[in-house]
Amino acid sequence: MLIQHVEIGNFRKLKAVRIDFAEEKTVFVGANNSGKTSAMVALRRFLVDSAFSVNDLTLSHWKSLNDAALSWEKAVSEEQPIPPIDWIDLLPFLDVWLNVEFRELHYVQKLLPTLDWGGGLLGVRLRYQPKDAEALQREFLKARAQIVAILEGASEKVAVQRPVEAKSETNLTLVGDADATTRTLGQPDAREQLKISLWPQSMIEFLERRMRPLFTVRAYLLNPARLEKPRDGLAVPQRLAPDDEPIEGDPFKGLIVIDEISAQRGLGNVPASRQRREDETGDDHASAHDGRKLSTQLRSYYANHLDPYDTPEPKDLDALHALEAAGSAFDTRLKACFADALKELEDLGYPGITDPKLTVSTRIRATDSLNHSAAVQYEVPTYAMASATAHRLPEDSNGLGYQNLVSMVFGLMSFRDAWMKVGKAGKSAKADDAFTPPLHLVLVEEPEAHLHAQVQQVFIKQAYAVLRNHPKLKDTKQLRTQFVVSTHSSHVAHACDFACLRYFRRLPAPKEPGAVPVSSVVNLSEVFGGIDKTEKFVTRYLKVTHCDLFFADGAVLIEGPAERILIPHFVEERAQFEYLRRAYLTWLEIGGSHAHRLRRLVEHLGITTLIITDLDAMEATSTAAVVPKRGENQRARNETLKSWLPATDSLDALLDKTEAEKVLDYANDFSIRVAYQGPTSVAFKGSPAEALANTFEDALLYENISFFTDRSGTGLAAEFRNALIGATDLTALAAQLNVALKKGGKAEFALDLLYSDDIAALAVPTYIREGLAWLVDQLKRKEREAIGPNPGMA
């Protein structure tokens, strides 16, 4: 049994998404504000704690709820029947689709949609909804009626004592809503009016206070025959009929064990006041608010699995004997210490002859030794000294990364052992708890916090193995574990198989009043449709480069090392690209002969992409590289230009392409653009003429002739200077540049320029400048779509 996928709807920006779960490990990746955290919170709300708030409702539905509530008031004032709200389309829900084999029928009997079910998918919808829709309606209208009563009973004028101007008066405005319940008390004058908003102003404001007591989670069965595939990246959830009845109880009780490690783990130094209180009293109540320390986790683990007082075994007897002996010795000492105090109390007349005698006794338990902040310690290695004399420090003296790692691993071990009822937990389990649920779902948010990059990779590789490290779990398919992780770390993502990544993609808000940006989810295991050479190349390339493509606002694919060195510098230093410095860009150095292999990935991710590449002219009848010339039927060797954009290899056609023809717009609202060398008007030892560059380096030279003519240096810089001095015209210059570039040294050439003091005088080649300007416009457009029109945005 496994969770095949979940569908989340009307929850924050997840209006309708499907998330496929891998058999073992599922990793949520995506740019900031793409919905990863919303997905994890939705799983927590529906499966763990049900602690919903009004902010969990998709913002685009707020207007509908407020408008519906206004219609209630209007109906009441007109003495008409009160229309109900169509909650079905507005409420958050989670659809859990299980893939269950027929032999597992006994686990899921209460979830069967029909009696002839023969194995396969089973669906359950968990929906957050009013406990009683009519009662909610009555309570809201009662609250609104109270506002009207307050306004009608208010005095004609209210004097307000202001802190600065003594005995001054101000008019009071009590605000109920925008029309019927707004009233100004007192005659208007030149003085400032004081506005008071009476609760509730709207349905949303009403729900801010009253949502939790009035709402609950109900479960409904879904029909596998009506399950639809996502359309344009968005889920198509099954619609329930208004008269569908919920099922009783928790549908997943005895079926799924759910554990989580949240992003807020409370690591760090313990406040001194709280540490003293814990040390002195053993009270760890504050820890519940500040995060679970490792000592708290150990104490809980000990109580559940190891406590010798709980169903003791023969091997526990030695420990129990030692504890009893310690308690007896401590009792003797306490009685001696309190003897004088108790005698003095008796001299005052208490206890009397018939009163019970006062005595002092102790009860020592093993867990008492863990009830303080230094219960867990780290041993500091000391040169040439035995372990017994080594220095020890409390747990909060170690680094946050190590604390986080130990805490998470120990948490996973605790989850596993609780599921498997290891130790005392198994012996003390009630009859109802003796049954082991067949599925364990573990949720972990942002495991990378405070961890070094290498440790992040080790954790994500080993965490699933920790969850399965039990004799009953090693090779069985009867008991399954599914591990779900959300991350912002490219190191975590690249340590995982490509097939287990789920990419959260930001979508613009629909063009309708009140709409907000939403998200879709891409299953990266479906990008290439199976293992082939392209997929192998892409996955290996991404792992080698450790790129952060899955977390970026935009991508720039560049041709070679010189571009990789200099173009990011242009972005960082030139004022016209200042906006790009605020964006999260990923730079991928991939030649024109390979950039097209990323096409399916880029299209599935829907990430705005600029491809900066070279013409790479060759002869019409062979693959020999040549100096580009018009009218000679030359072709481009560049596979990206040939097969992706602009989808032609004719050199003459490429040179004449307009800016619009270098852009490819996709239906799901993203674009890519290709930037390659174009014709440049150059004045070189005579009248202006058209120069045709073939690579980044000669394009840089054609637009910076005086810069390179006067420049000293070695390698390619010296070759450029000699060519500029020795060539008689542009044709000769192009031929000499072609020979020089074949010798290599491009990376050294770029590094020399980067190191030079006069790099600010270097003009950015036109094709790169135009491409980066397009990228600026695209990212600004996406920002406008996400946050709405901003007058201050250029």
Mean pLDDT within 704-710: 94
Residue 60 has φ and ψ, to the nearest 5°, of -65, -15
Mean pLDDT within 466-472: 94
Mean pLDDT within 760-776: 97
Mean pLDDT within 8-35: 95
Query: Count of H helices and E strands in the chain?
Result: 24, 25
Per-residue pLDDT at 158 exceeds 50: no
Chain segment 519-540, per-residue pLDDT in tens: 999 999 888 766 678 888 888 8
Chain segment 330-345, per-residue pLDDT in tens: 778 777 877 777 676 6
- Rounded Cα gap, residues 711 and 484, in angstroms: 57
Predicted confidence at residue 159, as pLDDT, reads 41
Per-residue pLDDT at 635 exceeds 90: yes
pLDDT band, very low/low/confident/very high, at 283 (cuts 50, 70, 90)? very low
Mean pLDDT within 103-124: 92
- What token pair was written down for 596? 């097209």
Name the 3-class secondary structure at 111: helix
Predicted confidence at residue 417, as pLDDT, reads 92
Q: Which residues pair with 285 in a beta bridge?
A: none
Mean pLDDT within 222-236: 93
Peptide bond into 351 cis (omega under 30): yes
Contacts of 757 (CB under 8 A, 6+ apart): none
In this structure, of 262-271, 286-295, 754-763, the range with the lowest mean pLDDT score is: 286-295
Q: Tell me the CA distances in angstroms from 341 to 333, 353, 362, 561, one per residue in order.
A: 14, 18, 17, 85
Core vs surface per residue 89-117: b (16+ CB within 10 A) or e: ebbbbbbbbbbbeeebeebbeebeeeeeb
Q: Can you tell me which residue has the tokens 């408008």?
A: 67
Residue 495 has φ and ψ, to the nearest 5°, of -85, -5
Name the burial class of residue 729, with classes exposed (0-12), middle (13-18) and buried (19+) by CB atoms within 10 angstroms of its CB: exposed
- Rounded Cα gap, residues 460 and 447, in angstroms: 8
Helices (H), 283-379: 287-290, 294-305, 317-347
Q: In what order do the strands lie in the sheet with 554-558?
A: 585-589, 554-558, 608-612, 670-675, 663-666
- Rounded Cα gap, residues 4 and 222, in angstroms: 14
Chain segment 253-272, per-residue pLDDT in tens: 999 999 999 887 665 544 44
Predicted confidence at residue 177, as pLDDT, reads 45
Q: Tell me the CA distances in angstroms from 668 to 7, 20, 231, 520, one per residue in order.
A: 20, 20, 11, 11
Mean pLDDT within 690-710: 96
Mean pLDDT within 586-611: 91
Q: Which residues pair with 439 in a beta bridge?
A: 256, 480
Mean pLDDT within 743-767: 95
Q: Can you tell me which residue has the tokens 């493509």?
A: 549
- Rounded Cα gap, residues 519 and 31, in angstroms: 11
Predicted confidence at residue 363, as pLDDT, reads 63
Q: Tell me the CA distances in angstroms from 83 to 62, 79, 142, 239, 243, one per residue in order.
A: 17, 12, 16, 21, 17
Q: Which of 187-201, 358-372, 775-789 has the highest mean pLDDT?
A: 775-789
Ramachandran quadrant class, 561 (left: phi over 0; alpha: psi -120 to 50; beta: rest):
alpha
User: Mean pLDDT score of the chain, rounded to an integer?
Assistant: 84
- Rg of the chain (C-alpha set): 35
Per-residue pLDDT at 562 exceeds 70: yes
Strands 670-675 and 608-612, how do they pair? Answer: parallel
Q: Which of 166-170, 186-190, 295-299 has the highest mean pLDDT?
A: 295-299
Mean pLDDT within 157-171: 41
